[in-house]
Structure 1
Amino acid sequence: MEDYKKLRLEYINNWPNSIPFQAENEYYKLIEEYKRTTNKIIFNPYKYNYSIDKEYNTVISFIIDSLDVMPKYPNFAFEFIFRGIDTYSEKIYSTTEQLTARIQNLIDNEFTSYLNNDKLCTVINELYKVMPNTTCQYLYSRLYGKFDTIKDVYSQTDKKTKQLFTRLLMRSNNKAKYSNLAQIFGFIASQYGYDRSKYKETIRNGSRLLYRIFNEDKIDISGITYDISFTDKLNLLIGGVLFTMRNDRAHGDGISSFKSSLASLKTYAHNYYCFLCCYIFLTLIMEEFSESNEEKLTANFKDNITRFSEIFGNKILKQ
């Protein structure tokens, strides 16, 4: 196995004539093969409307940055696109200082309202269907990597674990509203736990249950059926996956995505997927989803979900 500590130094020493890392080469080949065989670009950006609004144009500049880096670095594309959500959420909720609260407001108000539309619901369900296993495992690791099994989901002592469960289960201090998710999360902790030495029995099987939560409206556990609402799923995706990933990257938690021995095409799929999700949610609030633009928006979203699925395929997405 190659020494990536040495390879990273060689990359710097040889810059700008550095040799890409293995995962990078594999991804570049995958993208080129996709373009060659389909005659399509890897992403089809929405045709945004003209506006003189300052915040709108600031966000447009972030979208441009994300598109420019996205073909090679979907991780950076995610960062730029989430910056757009941060900026535009401040425009909508100008009196709400904390980003966490603004994101929760968007989930409870704008996104939940928009998703009463059947066509848009179908699009979001398609987005859930193509969620990579790597994304489910990312969320699972953040939920249970430092989970104290002696305590319940409301009483975790690890700071980041506690913050995550608070975002998912204690919004508006209404525990009863999210009791179904709390019981499911508690079951997962006791049934599967988190043990890297028993990856299949713990992490993989547990994360597959998270995938089911996104893709089913009811979950049967030990003879008890739990309802999963659309808002539950939205909060799990936006507040659980996307916001947590934003925090990890903003605070430098973890090595560079593609300069690691652990990097693979699955890593690219996860970063691309998170970028795609943020792109959809940002575009929804910028363009104010309505009957007049429903067809145009949903068609664009479906097209880009299809392109994502075509690029990576089940062989990568379901590993």
Structure 2
Amino acid sequence: MQKINCFSSMRVEYYNNWIEPKTDSKTLKFPAEILYAERLELLKTSTFEPQKFEESEDPETHMIVSYLMDTIDSLPGRPDLAFEKLWSAINYFLGFLNTQNSWSIRREHKLLDKVTNEFWCDLIDEEKQPDLALSFLKLMNLIPKQSGEYLVRRLFEDVTRSTIINQSADHQLNIQKRVKDALGNSLYNELSKKYLESKSRIKKNGELYGEKSANYLVGQLFCKILRGDIVTLSGKTYQLNIRQQIRLALNGYLYTYRNERFHGSVFSSTFRSSKANLNTYAHSFYMFHISYILLMVLVVKLLPVGVSFQDISKNLNNNFEKFNTIFESQIYK
């Protein structure tokens, strides 16, 4: 029994006292990695600080702490792998809640919808948890430009010409359905129409150029929409409320990113690609931060970690400031 207590204490202590390792641009070889390391060295900042937990013998707590230890061990160099560990922790919670509440839900996306309704949309609420809601809205306002374009490409690019690995019509239809559920049919259809119009208008310079330009233009619209800005399309105004923002962030961005990473549809060495740059890091870190806030909501609600939603909000805001400082030029303004 003493041995179990010792290891329980060691895990929490490791997580609570973790100090992010320094980057060294001189030891790296790939351009994006060097650029990123030089940025961190110039700013003399870390990318992330974990929320400290109280020690506990609770088995569910230690399952989550084990995922979080692997998460922080992936930073600062691999935010994409850190995201995967956070999603694994979220997935553990999905199974835990499914069993604990006797929901008997077999499909993951259905289970995700259930938890979204009963936990995330219920708790990230401006009246129930104003500090938490404000933190979430701060994060929505930090969306990188590449994240806007990322979703546009998955939604609207011609799959027969797409450079996205394993992109198929069925895969694209699933993404379109999830985003349509988040936005509503009217706004989704307006965005689809805007994409086709933009692509057609610039097509005179070549098919590929027209597609890239449409990705950029409609990507900017998606940034505004996720931020909760008012957008006007075909003379009609649209603005997402916080529940819709949660759904778009989760069902549009995170679940798409998750599926591609877990199903082998991305280049694994993300930051060692010829296309990688600071935008690539910004997008991966943004997916990481959205996952982190969703996971922490479940941690505070369900686990005996001695942390309040106010504590989490302070930790989130601190990490978002780091993100804003590092990726100031990559964030949509």
**What TM-score do the two structures reach when normalised by structure 2?**
0.78
- The answer on 1:113 being equivalent to 2:122 is yes
2:214 corresponds to which residue? 202
Partner of 1:190: 196
1:144 aligned to 156, 165, 185, which one? 156
Aligned to 2:184, the other structure's residue is in SS state helix
- Name the residue aligned to 2:311: 296
Offset, 1:277: 1.2
The amino acid that maps onto 2:65 is I
CA displacement at 1:284 relative to structure 2: 0.8
**CA displacement 1:238-265 (0-9 Å, x = unmatched):** 1111111111011111223112100001
* 1:286 alignment partner in structure 2: 299
Provide closer, same or farther for how the CA distance between residues 316 and 182 of structure 1 changes in structure 2, counting only shifts above 3 A.
closer
Output the CA distance in 1 between the equivalents of 2:199 and 2:112.
Answer: 29
Distance apart, 1:42 and its partner CA: 2.3
| 5+ long unaligned stretches in structure 1 | 1-17, 149-156, 172-176
* Alpha-carbon shift at residue 220 of structure 1 (Å): 1.7
| Residue identity matched to 2:81 | F
* Offset of residue 72 of structure 1: 1.0
Q: Name the aligned partner's letter for residue 299 of structure 1.
A: K
In 2, Cα distance between equivalents of 1:53 and 1:101:
28
Q: CA distance change for structure 1 residues 50 and 90 in 2, over 3 Å: closer, same or farther?
A: farther
Q: Deviations over 1:277-316 (max 9, x none)?
A: 1111101111119xx8132111111111011111121x23
Q: Does 2:317 match 1:277?
A: no
Structure 1 match to 2:31: 22
Paired residues of 2:71 and 2:83 also in contact (CA < 8 A): yes
Q: Is the 8 A contact 1:65 1:77 kept in 2?
A: yes
Preserved contact between residue 156 and residue 192 of structure 2 (Cα < 8 Å): no
2: CA distance between counterparts of 1:208 and 1:217? 11
Matches within 5 A, 1:243-262: 243-255=255-267, 256-262=269-275
Amino acid at match of 2:124: L
Give the letter aligned to residue 163 of structure 1. Answer: N
1:128 pairs with one of 119, 140, 144: 140
SS, match of residue 232 in structure 2: strand
CA distance in 1: counterparts of 2:140 and 2:318, whole angstroms: 15
Residues 90 and 295, structure 2, Cα contact 8 Å, conserved in 1: yes
- Deviation at 1:69? 1.0
The percentage of counterpart residues that share the same residue type is: 24
Q: CA RMSD in A?
A: 2.5
Counterpart-to-counterpart distance in 2, 1:225 and 1:125: 20
- Could you tell me which runs of 5 or more consecutive residues in structure 2 were left unpaired when the two chains were aligned: 1-26, 161-167, 201-206
Cα deviation digits, residues 106-153 of structure 1 (max 9, x gap)? 2222111112232222211110111101111111111112379xxxxx
Deviation at 1:91, TM superposition (A): 1.0
**How many aligned positions are there?**
283
* Correspondence 1:164 to 2:172: no
User: Given that residues 74 and 272 in structure 1 are in contact (C-alpha distance below 8 angstroms), is that contact kept between their aligned partners in structure 2?
Assistant: yes
Between 191-200 and 128-137, report the one with greater CA deviation: 191-200
